[in-house]
Structure 1
Amino acid sequence: MGSLAIGQRSLGDPRIGFPLWPPLTDGCPRTSTADVAYPVDVDYDYERAGAELYPALLPPLPAPGLGEGRTPLVELEPGVFVKDESRNPTWSHKDRLNRCTVSAAVGVGAAGVVVASSGNHGASAAAYAARAGLPCVVITGPEPQPGVVAFLRAYGAVVMAVPWEGRWPLMRRIAERAGLHPVSSTTVTHTGHPFGPEGYKTIAYEIHADLGTPEAVFVPTGYGELLYGIAKGFTELRRLGRARRVPRMIACEPAAAAPLVKALREGVPAAHVEVGATDAGSIVSPVSGYRGVLAVRSSDGRALAVTDPQLRAAQAELARAGLWTELAGAAGLAGLRALGPVEGPVVCVATSSGLKNPVRDSAPAPAVVTDWAQAARILTASGHFQL
C-alpha cells in the first residue's frame, strides 16, 4: 500500500479542504488574514489504514531518502528517556521534515528548493536536495557560522548571507523568479510547509513502538512544527485504536523570546515578541505559529520558557550520560528539570548534535604533553585520579 494522503485541510477551519497538490506553502488562502497565517495540514483516508503506518500515513515520497529516522530512545534515568535525533543523516531532526518537503518539490516538478535557515534546516534541505538531484539555495543570517557554511557548500548549496529581516522576502522572490520550491515559512506568522510536520509524526510512531504512550513529551520549540508533528502522530495512533491517549506536549522555548508562551497566555493563534540574547539560536524566534497552540491545547500540555543557564545545565547533564547535543537540542531536558518531577515515563526530544554548537563554544586545543610530570598534573587536575 502506498500513501493514503487525500488532500490538505485548513487548520484555521478544518471544514475547509483543498486538493493534495500543489502543497499550499502560503498557508490557508481562505482563513488567513493580514495578521495571522493559518497552516494547512495533510489529510488521509484513515479508514483504509492497516497495520503498516509507513508509507500509508505519510505524503507521497518521490525523493530518495538518506536512512533518516529510527533513532534510539535512551533511558537517562528511571522513567526519563531521551529521543536522540542527532543520529539522523545530517545530525538533526530536520532530516525527517526534509524527506517530505523535498519530495514535495520533486512532486511539483520544481527547478530546485530554497530555504531560509542558519543551521539545521538549511543543512538538511541541502542534503536532501542533493540526494534528489535538485539545486538548493540557502539564505542564512548576516553572520553564519563558518562550519555551517562549509556544511552547506559540501552539498553544493548556493549560500547567501542576508540581514535577518530580509531573509523571508528574498526567499519569496527567489521562489517566484527562479521557480524554486520554498521549504520554510513564507508567511507573516509561521505556517511552514504542509508536508513538513508529517515527517515528524514518525517520532511519535517510534516512541510508541519502543515505550508505549509516555505521560509527556518535552520538545525543543521554535516555530512548533516538531511539537505539532509529534502530537499529530500520537493523535493518529489513538484514532486507529493503537494508543488510548495523547501524551501531554510540553513546548520548551528559549526565554529570550518564547512567542508560544505569549500566544497561549493571551489566547491568540500566534504572537510576535522581541528577541533577546541567547546562544540557543536555532530555536529562538520573534514569531510563533498556530500549530504550536493546537499541539499544546489538544494534549492538555503547556509551554515553558527556559533560560540559557538552564539549557547549559541540561546540555552538561546529557553529556555526562554520553549524549552530546547542541545547546538548543537540550531544551527538552531543560524544560523537564525546570518543571520538576513528572509521574510516569516522559520523553525529552534531543534535536541535534553538539557539532552544531556555535564556534565560540569550541574547546581550546589541549597542551602538548612532553613528560610524565606534565601528564600527572593534568590527570590530577581532572579530579578523577589520585597519582
Structure 2
Amino acid sequence: MKTAAGSVTGLRCLACNAFYPPELLYRCTACAGILEVERAKPFRRWDPSDFVREEVTLGEGGTPLRQVPSSLLHPDFRGALLVKDETRNPSGSFKDRLVAAALSRAIEFGASGIVSASSGNAGAAAACYAANAGIPAIICCPETTPHGKLAQIMAYGATLERVSGHYGNSFQRAMELCDQHGYVNLTTTYLNPYGVDALRLVGQEIFEALGGILPGWISIPTSSGPLVKGVFQGFLDTAEQVPRLVAAQSEGCAPIARAFAGGQDTVEPWELPQTIASGISDPLQGYPEEGSHTLSLIRKSGGEAVAVPDNYIKDAMVALARKAGLFCEPTGATSLAACRRLFSEGKIGMPDTVVCIITGHGFKDFSAWSDVEAHGIPS
C-alpha cells in the first residue's frame, strides 16, 4: 500500500479517545469502544490504492452514479433522483470495498486465513477475495441466508458454516473461530476498522460525480451502519459538510429507526428479526453500541432513520428493475422505499436531489423475486 498523504497513522477509540499504532485490533483494549482509522491530514481525495493492495484488488469501487426517472420516488416528485449502483462490484455488493481493504491489511499483518460472519454478501465478498489471494476462508451465516448467497460463497471454495438463529449468533461464532484458528476477522460491522475506513470512498465518489454539489439526501440500507459512516466521512473529506443521511431499515428489524423515532441516544438490540431484506436483518445483539454510533451520525447530518414494511421494499425492487433497468436484492431497494415514505410524509421536498445507494445485486436472492412474482406486486 502507498505511504503517502493518505497513509494510516493509527487507530483511535471513539469512546475514550485512546490511540493505538497501526495493528490488528478490533476494539479498544481500555474500554472495548469502536476503533476508527486515523490518517495523515489533510483529508483530501484518496486514491483507492491507499486502501487496497495491488495483488488483492479485483476492481471494486468507482461504481456509477446515474440519474433515474424522478417518478420512481413519487409521481409528484420534481427533483432529481439518482442511484449509486454498488451491484457493479466484483461479487455484486458494496461489501467488496470493505473486504478488499480489510484483507489487504490482514495480509500485511501476516494473516494465514480469514473468518467472516455474514448475512450473505460479506461472506461472498470474503470468499471471493480470499480465493483471489490464495488464503483459506471460513464464512459463518445464519441458516436463513438466501440460497443464492450461499451458492456464491461455496462457489469460491470457502468453508461455509451455517449457524442457527439470527445474525448475532453467526457474529459470535466467527469470533470463536478466529480464536481457534488464529485467523483474521473480516466481519463487516464496525469490527474491522480498516474495512470501514475504505467506505469513505463512497461518499467521495458521490460528491465528485455530482460535480462538487451537495445533494439534499442520501439514503443508505443500514444494519449496524458502516456504510453510513463511510458516506459521512467521505463528504467531510471532500466537501467539509454532510448532506442529510437516511438510515433505511425494514420494519422487521429496525433497532436504529426505533431509537430515532423514540428520541433516544442509544440503540437497543432488536428482539426477533423477520424481513425479506436479509442483508439488513441484524438485531445488533452483542454490539448495540455500533447502532448508537450510526444513530449519532444520522442526527449530526440532520437526516432520518426510517423503517419500511416489506411490501414497500418489494414494490421498490420491481420499480427499479422495470423503470431503471436495475436488478437488485431487497436490501438494496430499501433505500428507495425509505425515500418514498419520507416524501409522502413531506420530509423530502419537491425540488430536492436524492441519492439512493443500491447495495446488492438481484442474483443474490432469486427467491425474493419469485415471491414478488407470486404476489403480483405492481410497479
Instruction: Please indicate, yes or no, whether the TM-score normalized by the shorter chain is above 0.5.
Output: yes
SS of the residue 1:20 aligns to: coil
Shift of residue 28 of structure 1? 2.0
Shift of 1:364: 11
Q: Which residue of 2 aligns with 1:30?
A: 30
* Cα distance in 2 between the residues matched to 1:60 and 1:319: 32
Aligned with 2:64 (options 44, 60, 72): 72
Distance in 2, Cα, partners of 1:286 & 1:364: 25
Determine the C-alpha separation between the residues in 1 that align with 2:266 and 2:113: 32
Structure 2 portions without partners, runs of 5+: 71-78, 374-379
CA contact (8 A) 1:63 1:102 kept: no
1:368 matched to which residue of 2? none
Q: Name the SS for the 1:323 alignment partner.
A: coil
- Structure 1 match to 2:377: none
Gaps of 5+ in 1: 33-37, 238-242, 366-387
Q: Given that residues 207 and 213 in structure 1 are in contact (C-alpha distance below 8 angstroms), is that contact kept between their aligned partners in structure 2?
A: no
Match of 2:126 in 1: 125
1:4 deviates by: 1.8
Tell me the CA shift for residue 268 of structure 1.
3.4
Give the match for residue 192 of structure 1. Answer: 191
Helix, strand or coil at the partner of 2:180: helix
Q: Does 1:170 align with 2:166?
A: no
Instruction: Report if the CA contact (8 A) 1:8-1:20 is conserved.
Output: yes
Q: Is the radius of gyration larger for structure 1 or structure 2?
A: 1
**Which SS does the other structure have where 2:10 is aligned?**
strand
TM-score (norm: length of structure 2): 0.85
Q: 2:257 maps to which residue?
A: 261
CA change 1:229–1:75 in 2 (3 A) is: same
Partner of 1:86: 87
Q: Find the counterpart in structure 2 of residue 240 from structure 1.
A: none
Divergent runs of 4+, >4 A: none
2:279 counterpart SS class: coil
Find the residue that maps to 2:214 and give its secondary structure.
coil
Is 1:54 aligned with 2:51?
no
Counterpart of 1:371 in structure 2 is: none
Counterpart of 1:219 in structure 2 is 220
Instruction: Give yes or no for the alignment of 1:11 onto 2:14.
Output: yes
TM-score normalized with structure 1 length: 0.83
Matched pairs, number: 345
- 1:292-331: CA deviations, max 9, x gaps? 1232122121200111111112111111221111111001
Q: Cα distance, 1:62 vs. partner?
A: 6.5
Bigger mean CA offset, 147-156 vs 102-111: 147-156
State the alpha-carbon separation in 1 of the partners of residues 293 and 51 from structure 2. 18
What is the letter of the counterpart of residue 37 of structure 2? V
Residues 162 and 244 of structure 1: CA distance in aligned 2, closer, same or farther (over 3 Å): closer
- TM-superposed deviation, 1:29: 2.5
CA separation in 1, counterparts of 2:263 and 2:31? Answer: 20
Give, in whole Å, the separation in 1 of the partners of 2:354 and 2:251. Answer: 22
Q: Percent identity?
A: 32
The 2-side partners of 1:69 and 1:351 are apart by 12
Counterpart of 2:203 in structure 1 is 204
